[in-house]
Structures are given as C-alpha cells and as structure tokens.
Chains A and B, each alone.
Chain A
C-alpha cells in the first residue's frame, strides 16, 4: 500500500532523490472471478470501485479498462464542476457531487485542485435574462448558490468580454455560481485509482471487454469476455460513457442513448487573464484558464452521431469564431491542441443510472457532455446501487424506466450548452 502524500512526504522524497515513491496503484494480473466487475476506468468506474470497497466492504472488485485509465472522457473534458441544474432531482444530485468535490482532495489524499473561481453564464437578450431569472430562482429554491449579475458586475468579473459596440450580441447580464469552478481531471482519475487500489481494488488496464456472459436460465450476468481472457463476476457495473450502447449490445438490450463527438481546445500557456469560467450559450462557447495558464475552451457537440475521437475543422471554426466574438482579444491567442471525446446523450440530457433489464448488470451512463462534475456522487450512488441491488435515493429519478414512464428530467433546455 502506498504511503500518504503530504508536504513532509515530498521532503522525504526529495531527500531520497525521489527514488523512494510507491506505486500510485498496482497493475495486477486479473483474477478468474470477482464479486463485482466495473467496466470502464474513467472517473465513474474508478469512483464506483472505490466506494464498493471503502463504503460497502466489497474488496474483491476489479475495474477493467480497455486502454489506460482516464483515457476516455474523464481525461478529455473541460473540467468544469458546477451544480446549476434546474430540476430538484438534478439539483440534489449535482449539488451533492460538488460538496463531495470540495472534500475530495482530503478524502483521497490526492490534490484534485478544485478551483472554485465561479462560473458566469452571460445573457444576451431580455428574453435570456428572463429565462435566467427562471433558472436562478428555481435553483435558489433548490438550495443552490446562484445569483443574477448585472452587466456592470459581469464586466467586473470578466472585463475582456465583448462589451464593445461591434458585438453582435450585447451582454445584458448573466448568472453566476460562485461555488463552481474547475478540477484537474487527471487528478480525479489517479486519486480515485490510488485510493481504490489502497482498499484492495484491482485496476486492470489494456483489458477491453468484448462480450458479456449470461446465465441461460436466469439471464443474469455471470462474467465478461475480455482481451485478457474470461473474467467471472457476481455483479457487473458498466461505466463506459460514449460506448455504453455497445456494452448494452453485448448484453442483448438497447439503450435510448446516442453518441456524439464533443470537442475541446486548449491554448498556449498565458499569464492569468481570465479569472472565472465564462460561458455564452447563444454564441456556443465557454472558456476557463487552467492553473498552467492554458485557456480551455469548449462548445457544442458535433451535429451528427459518431465514434470518431478526434477534432475536426467545422467545429474548430465554429468554436473559434464564437470565442473571438465572445472575447475579442483571444483572437491573437494560439490554439495548441484540439481533440474530442465521445459522449452519450439521452434526449432529456440527464444521466441513466441504476438497474438494467439484465439481472446483475447496472448502468452508469448518459452523462453527455456533463458527467465530470458528477463523478464523486456518481461513484457513491452507483456503488450503493450495485452493492445493495437497489438504486440510491439520489438517483431514482435517473432510472432507465423513466423513458418508459415518460418521467424525463429535461435538463437540455435548462443548460443550453454542454460542460
């Protein structure tokens, strides 16, 4: 087991020439059977495994990851963590997640660098201001810290936004969540991986699941086929984001999800120039500045379904134009990298969490472009669901049944842009 991280540990490391660090997590050979197998070594899969072991005492647990952990959306996202969701069910879940994030560095003994610098979503018309008032009031009533800001306040928060007479869309105000911010994405992956490993979870990388075995009589899951051989399991949790429909295929059912490429961009490193996360749904862009100095920029998902995990030019153009229109001085700033992740959307833009039609198989998917912020709560509630066989109270609204029951939680209209 690896020793605790601290300033003292750094000093000890330094004195030993940094040759005395433990493995952050082991790379064991897979066992023949686990009580629970989690497919997908993203944030959700790792957090789930951590909670299975830590909270529910299930230590014979493996996370199977087809590539390297965090190589999916968790390592590709724009790292915005916020809880400005409209419907009470979402508000309760995401606010819980933000609260867990606030304590996560200590919980994991790994600095995930939650930078609560606030997120400003601007409004460009009277109609948008009215709509934001609806959202802000609703969120406030659900216990979320949200406030409306005037154009002057918006200018103070981010003076480089386009307040000029040339602006196609004037900035008439906005809404602000001060508690929102960014979190270092890799740290969440590694922190959970290390913490899960410390409580006995096997993290198996380069292990793609290629088939799901079911008991012919009961239909229940008995194990998985993988690129590293067959692995038996009592319970199977699937947390593979954009590839969820493929896993459902393997188990013989369909999911009401569609996968799209969502792209992101990072700029060259700059001295601090942007202190909030700034977003404009109408322009289709949001941007924050990382602690390394790069601007991290996102926009809307590509318009067509795809599994191509790479950037393309039409979206780069659309997002760049939106960025320059939003913050004109960024026109001279250079793009350093462009990439994409595959995100899975339900048509109400809420996640799918809980039981599946297959006994013993549990679902954690449908995060679309916004599941990074959900990782701590997703892991906690999903582990509860797997361990007890009953959905955690915070996620009952997000069951797969909601599509049958027409009990959707339509956050699509509320957010307007993904992150």
Chain B
C-alpha cells in the first residue's frame, strides 16, 4: 500500500502539523486523524498483533479499528492502546506502536507466527502443566499485554455532569440528524451526542449537540453515560450521565471484513473506510486498489476511488450475477470478476496482490494491487441497544443482527437497525424523532432486500482472521467447534475471539456466522455474545469523575473546635473523625505525652473533646417502648433527668454498640453512640423503626450539631464551679449518671455526669458554634487547677485501667452481653427485644465462650501487642486474643484486655500470649484494676 494525499481535496490546503511516529518525524494536516496522516505519509505497518506479532496496518476508521493501536505521549501523560483512527492530529503528537520489540518493522515476537499451529486456540490449557505453570508463566506474561500503563499519578482532571432531556439521540449521521430535527420540531428538549468532531446540521434552540462525545453505556431507567473528549488545559474528559425520557440510537453500522487467507495483511482494509479516508481526509490508502464484495455495497467505493483518480484494478464479486450497479462500474472501465472471491492476500509484509478463485471452475488467478478493500456487508451497531435490555433478531436481508424488542424507552434508527439507503435513513430518523417527541408511530422504511453472496468458509490452513487483534482465525473456531466448545460464549473465551479492545466490533458477526455454519445451523441461530458496557473503552479516571478523590474521597470530619486543638499543639489522627491523639510538649513521643496527660487527669483535671460521640435523639409517644425493643436493658424505666449505660445487640445477640441513654423528657431520649458506630447505630434504629416497628416516634441524628467537652478528674467540679454555670453541681444535687440543662457562661448547655475515665467527670454539650469559646473558657477556669487537654491515647490508657471496653475492638462478632459481664437481667426482662431469642438460646450459656478478661504480663515492663493470641488451646491453638493494650501510668505496668475462652474461670492463672513468633507469659485478671470499686467517679 502506498497511501498519499489527494492534491485537489480541500484538506490538502489545511495547515501543516508536525508529529512523530515510532521516532520518525512526519507532517499531516489540521483535521486529520492520526490514522489519516499515517496513511497520507505512506506508513503501512502500524502495529503488531497480540499473539503472533503479525504486522498490521490500519484496517478501518472510527471505532471500527482493531489493529492500529498506539502508545501516545510519555511519562505521566502517556496513553496506552489509543486507537489511531480516533486520535485527532495535533502539533507535536508523539505516538509509537505497541507490542513489538525491537521495532514494528522487525519484531522478534514475530517468531510466534512461524509456530502458529502450535499456538492454536487454547493451546495454553493443554501444556505448561509439567513441571509447573510457575516455570512458564513469567515468559507468557511478558509477551502478553499491548500498551504500557503509566506509572505516575494522572496529572489530568476529569469532569462529570448530569443531564436530563426529553430525547437523547446517539449519533449525528443522516439518521441521527433527521431524528434530532424531527424531535426538536416537536418542541421537546433534545440532546444529540456524536463521537466525531462535528455534526453537519443547523443549530436549533431546543437542541443541544455534544461533539467528540461517545455514548459509553446504557443502563436501567434510560440512563446513558457518555464520555466527552475535551483535552483542555484543565479537563481531559467529561463523563456525562444523561437521563432521557426517550433514547434514539442512531449509531450506524460496522462493515464486516471478508474471510480469506492473510486478510490481516497491511493493505487490506474495509471498503467503507477507504471511502472515509478519500472523502473526509482527502487521503488515498493505495494507488491500485482491488475491491472484494458480497453485495452492491462496495461498488460505490470502487466508483468513488476511480473518480478520485485511483487505478482500480477490479471488483471481485462473490455473486454469480452482479447487481445492476456493476454496469456503472463497468462504464468507468473497472474490471468486474463475477462469481469470484479472494482466497488470499499476497505479500510478505504488505499487500502486493491478491489471489482469486473462480467459484464455478476453481481456477485461480493473481492480480497485482497494493490495496484490498473488503465489503462483507454491514452490521448495525446494536451494542447500546442490547445494553438497554433490548433483544436482537437475525435479519437475513442484511446478514446481521438487528434490534428486535425494546425493553426501555429506546429505539434504533437508520443503519443502527439495518436501513442503509441514505434517503431511507433520513426518513427512518425522522419517524423515530417524531415518535420520541410525541409517542406516535409513523410508517418507517423497510429493511431493503439485497442479493448477497452467502458466507464462504475458507479452507483449513488459510490463516483467515476473524478477530485480528487477538489473532483468532477461522481455523481456531473450527477447532473449538471440534472440541465441543459450542456456545458462542465458550468459543469467545476459549479462542479469545471478540476479547480485544474493539470488543468484537469487527469480528463478532462474522464469528457467529462461521460458528453457525460449522455447527450446521442457520446463520443467526447461535445469537451473539453479550455486548457489555462500555461501548468503547473509558478511562477509569473518567468513570470516577463524579466521585471526589484525595482528601475528599471520604471527606475529613473535623471537630467543631478543630482550630483550637491545633493551637494546643494537638497531633491528629483519623478515627473516622480527625481527633487529637495527644498534645505533645517539647519532643515528647506519643506514649510519653499520653502518659503525662493520663496522670494529669488522675491527679488533677483534663479536658477532652467528645464531640464525635454519636448523639441521637428519639422522641415521641412510643420512644420508650421502641428503645426497650432495641436494647438489652429497659430504657423506658430511666427516670427523668437520669442517664443509664445501655447495650445494643443485633438479632444474634452479639454486641453492636454501647453508650448511655439519658431521659430528657417523658417522651424524649438522648442516646450516645461510640464515634465509630454512630452512623451505623442511627441507621440501625431507623431501619428497625421503618421496617419492623413503625411506632409513634422520630429519630434524629444530632452529632454534628453539638460540641461536647468533657472535664474529667478529681478537680473537675472546681473547674465547673468557676465557670459561671447555673446548674447546681453539688454531689447531692447532681450525682453520677444524671443529666442537667442549664447555662454555662450564658450559653445553653446539657451536662451529663458520665465517665469513660473512671474519674469525676462532666460532659458538657453546647451548640457546635460555641465549641472553641467553651474550650477556651474551661481552660481559663481550670488554669488554677492545672487543667490540660488530653487526647485519645491518654483516654485509652485511662479506660484500660478501668477495664472499660470499646465495642468492636474488645468484642468481636460473637461477643454477647454476658461475655463482657452484663448477663444479668436478660432472662428476667419480660418484653421482647432485639437479640433476646439468641441470648436465651443454650449456645449463649455454653461453656468455653470467649469472655472479657484483663491480662497482666508477668514482666510488668511488657506491653502485649494488640492482636496477639493466647495460645495453648485444644484442638485449635488459639484460645483468645489481646484486644487492647497499654502501659498503665498508675500501675506502672503493661495492661491488656483480652477475649479468652472460658476466661472468667481462669482468673489468676498464667497464660501465654503469642504474636508473630514471640511469646510472653501473662496473668489473667479482672479487667478493671484501678479503683475497682469505682469510688472516684463520684467525686
């Protein structure tokens, strides 16, 4: 093939553009695709195939290209497997062939082609078994794959847009334009998407045209996704989610290659694509083309090529009787070879001729040519239609599948449903557009009956490719059929036919026709393989465009007093919320800071930000009843102004969360949930309320509305007494487990006497806006008492000394209330509640259950790693797990909590903790070792 640019085509006058391909410099014209420019420069071999590394040239145009894959650009901007027929040429563009080494001209992988018979369909399933696949895999792996993925983060951005319209038209060809025009004429809002960079129609006020936009998927509820190529300085692509009342699919059709020997040689092209390059780009793909056709389509191309001045060496028509159009070709002096077909392309690396066979006599002749145009008929682009759920039927008149029954509000028109005549396409589009705007059906053109030559199976050994990119030949399909891989999906998987980057756009229909013939069935009998989204490959970055990445992937949750904590030199950690882990002084380590902070709380007083604790209000006549159903205890019996520790179980009786419930009013409760479970607990309550117990109440998640600051330590009361608080704080008036409302420094506050440190403590909740001022205020009021802020690490030590648990860390998916020492009363609770049945089941009191215990390493300096196991079990070695650990500042020793099988019966005994090969003896003890009688929290 020796492509060149036609001098008298307007493109020849367009601006010159310099680009690089495989290291050489070339010049193209503005408006060219990379493929057009390569052809114009006479470049023939553009890539190598997947398995045999056979040289390949451009075969098609637009989406119908399977060979011309290139690597674009370098570094972070590189794009693997770009389809040259869809890459617009730009100044400085650099592209190279994929899958060849050292070069596309001389590719060592080409050796595979010599042994292609050994590498037939599914060969790898039959060998590499001895001694082991591990020996062979690395080599196979290196050979596989096409382009190279970038390894640097993507510097580009992707945008997303949601869009609604009455009518969406997919495709801006004659049918699509007619459809859009007709629909818009009906006064409705119409959007048209077109992959190409222009649509040749007039603007209309209620028509929006998106060019360079490819519909990529058709989902439920008429949701169509599309990718718009922007290539701007900021945004590379835009991902559209379009919901339309009606969708018109006018995506055209794909021409089918013909099946003859070496039909993959560079210089063998789709006839329609030859025409595309001639008309659209003013580029001739060769000087001496030969055309091979099975019906009248294809003659047009030959005639156009002749008119463009090419030396058309002939039309090989597989039909005994060429149609009337043959006369027109004949009149131009084009030789017609009726009842002939091409048996193979001649030429080692590129086409230099073709061998024909006279089907009547079997006589073979050779014709010299540098380009073979194939026209095997056209197959409607049914991919999006089938994605919408629509069914297909085989249409004998065109030898391809056409849309049959729509499941969604969708309709195909024009070539997308097998209407190929230009005027018919326009009429069909107009009728579809009318339907889309009004819901009325109009008469539509019939699919034209054509005289077509039947499929001709090339003989064994012909190297006739059904799928070029993946190197699947008719022989491979033959072999798969012999081996009883008969479902089209089996053949697809066994031979990898249709698995390339074009997803079978060129080879699917030919393949099913061949398979049906091999099985002795009618051409459409086997159906098609499933065409899954996306229609054309889409960058993951584009699909992800509507989701936020980096810091916004899961947006950070900041405490309302965040900046105040920053000013206190807090170190933050992500615990679902960004919370202070500690407030180091000087060059303190985390452990040192936590130690100091904990001692301050035990000895004096500390301030802790509890704002992330879940706060859920339940309000209504049945609030108490509902909470009784949801809880292990009976919150309905909580007295007004009182607070009670509460456990939530799931149906299995295992612990979901703990927290306190305060009664704010007769019908008004406030539940706190641990930070990490707050959202789940809220949803859990809501689900049971909505789905099972629709009682008279409402549930509101209020966490973010409140700032909650906890003052804890023996001097906590003094701090509050200094803080301009109008609540009576005396021990008698406001004992432990009570809640009060009042004002602190004039601000409305709820104050609870609850404690997670074991110290006297006041949990003060104010509107979130007051977080920082309250923190400052409390620090000022507590300065004389030596108040300091303390973080989660210190809290963890304090609660560990007390044996207070964290559900989810100190419990697992089997832990029930009794396992943590809260078994009493369950059997006595009269009413039903979630988990009751499971908790009364014999398994709940079976011996050997994992129970919460404390562990004290025999060597007090040891801090057991969290996640260590307690070993020595029978029959399974593990008999428990270390769930929390730390170095107790008060006891000055390592302390742990653990879940230990039958643990409570083992108090005082020494067990072995083991982690990653190391082990430590430790004594089983009560979980709470500091102030075991709990006197300190009364203050």
Contact = CB atoms under 8 A, between A and B. Distances in A.
B737 interface: no
Contacts of A21: 479, 482-483
Contacts of B217: 313, 338
B305 to A, nearest CB: 34
A141 B877 contact: yes
A133 B483 contact: no
A112 to B, nearest CB: 8
B214 to A, nearest CB: 12
Contacts of B129: 5-6, 105-106, 109-111
Given A269-B144, A272-B142, A313-B223, A141 B81 contact: no
**Interface residues on chain B, size class:** 35 or more
B50 interface: yes
A119 to B, nearest CB: 16
A55 B124 CA distance: 27
B363 interface: no
B489 A111 contact: no
B543 A317 contact: yes
A329 B151 contact: yes
A137 B80 CA distance: 42
Interface residues of A, number: 110
A137 B869 contact: yes
Interface string B790-803: 00000000000000
Contacts of A168: 549-554
B546 A268 contact: no
Residue of A13, A18, A166, A329 contacting most chain B CB atoms (<10 Å): A18
A332 B876 contact: no
A134 B876 CA distance: 15
Interface string B517-548: 00000000000001011100111110110111
A156 interface: no
Interface string B888-911: 000000000000000000000000
B321 interface: no
Interface string B134-171: 10010011101111111111101010000000000000
B153 A111 contact: no
A338 B158 CA distance: 20
B231 interface: no
Interface stretch (B370-378, B700-708, B860-868): B860-868
Interface string A1-37: 0000111011101110111011111110000000000
A305 interface: no
Contacts of A318: 547
Residue of A125, A134, A142 contacting most chain B CB atoms (<10 Å): A134
B149 A273 contact: yes
B930 interface: no
Interface in A330-344: 330-339
Contacts of B546: 317
Interface stretch (A214-222, A233-241, A320-328, A362-370): A320-328
B80 to A, nearest CB: 6
A215 B657 CA distance: 49
Interface string B207-239: 000000000010110010100000000000000
A132 interface: yes
A113 B133 contact: yes
Contacts of B127: 5-7, 9-10, 111
B574 interface: yes
A125 B581 CA distance: 13
A320 B543 CA distance: 6
A312 B149 contact: no
A114 B254 CA distance: 38
Contacts of B551: 166, 168
A233 B383 CA distance: 42
B148 A271 contact: yes
A145 interface: no
Contacts of B844: 406
A164 to B, nearest CB: 7
Contacts of B120: 10, 13-14, 18
Nearest to A8: B127
A190 interface: yes
Interface stretch (A351-359, A371-379, A380-388, A407-415): A407-415
B537 A334 contact: yes
A71 interface: yes
B59 to A, nearest CB: 18
B92 interface: no
B583 to A, nearest CB: 18
Contact of A113 (B137, B486, B814): B137
Contact of B483 (A23, A106, A407): A23
Given A111-B126, A270-B149, A313-B219, A331 B539 contact: yes
A335 B543 contact: yes
A10 B538 CA distance: 38
B83 to A, nearest CB: 10
B125 A190 contact: yes
A333 B867 contact: no
A293 B539 contact: no
Nearest to A337: B532
A125 B574 CA distance: 8
B585 interface: no
Contact of B81 (A9, A330, A334): A334
Nearest to A7: B127
A148 B916 CA distance: 8
A316 interface: yes
Interface string A160-179: 10101011110000000000
A308 to B, nearest CB: 8
Contacts of B158: 331
Given A111-B126, A111-B128, A190-B125, A338 B539 contact: no
A406 B150 CA distance: 50
B636 interface: no
Nearest to B533: A338
A24 B574 CA distance: 55
A184 B485 CA distance: 17
A24 B483 contact: yes
Interface string B480-503: 001111110110011010010101
A187 interface: yes
Given A268-B537, A317-B544, A329-B151, A336 B574 contact: no
Given A24-B485, A109-B129, A318-B547, A18 B141 contact: no
Contacts of B76: 329
B118 interface: yes
Given A113-B124, A137-B868, A320-B540, A336 B148 contact: no
Nearest to B502: A336
A321 B843 contact: no
B96 to A, nearest CB: 13
A164 B153 contact: yes
A110 B809 CA distance: 46
A134 B140 CA distance: 38
B768 interface: no
Contacts of A320: 540-541, 543-544, 547
A318 B843 CA distance: 40
B876 A141 contact: yes
Contacts of A169: 553, 574
Contact of B652 (A134, A339, A406): A406
A407 B117 contact: no
B702 to A, nearest CB: 25
9 contacts: A17-B475, A19-B460, A68-B487, A137-B868, A270-B145, A293-B146, A328-B153, A335-B534, A406-B652
Given A75-B493, A134-B881, A337-B533, 6 more contacts: A10-B118, A18-B121, A168-B552, A268-B146, A331-B156, A410-B812
Interface of A: 5-7, 9-11, 13-15, 17-19, 21-27, 67-71, 75, 88, 105-106, 109-111, 113-116, 125-127, 130-138, 140-142, 148, 159-160, 162, 164, 166-169, 184, 186-187, 190-191, 205, 267-273, 283, 291-293, 308, 310-313, 316-318, 320-321, 323-325, 328-339, 347-348, 405-408, 410, 412-413
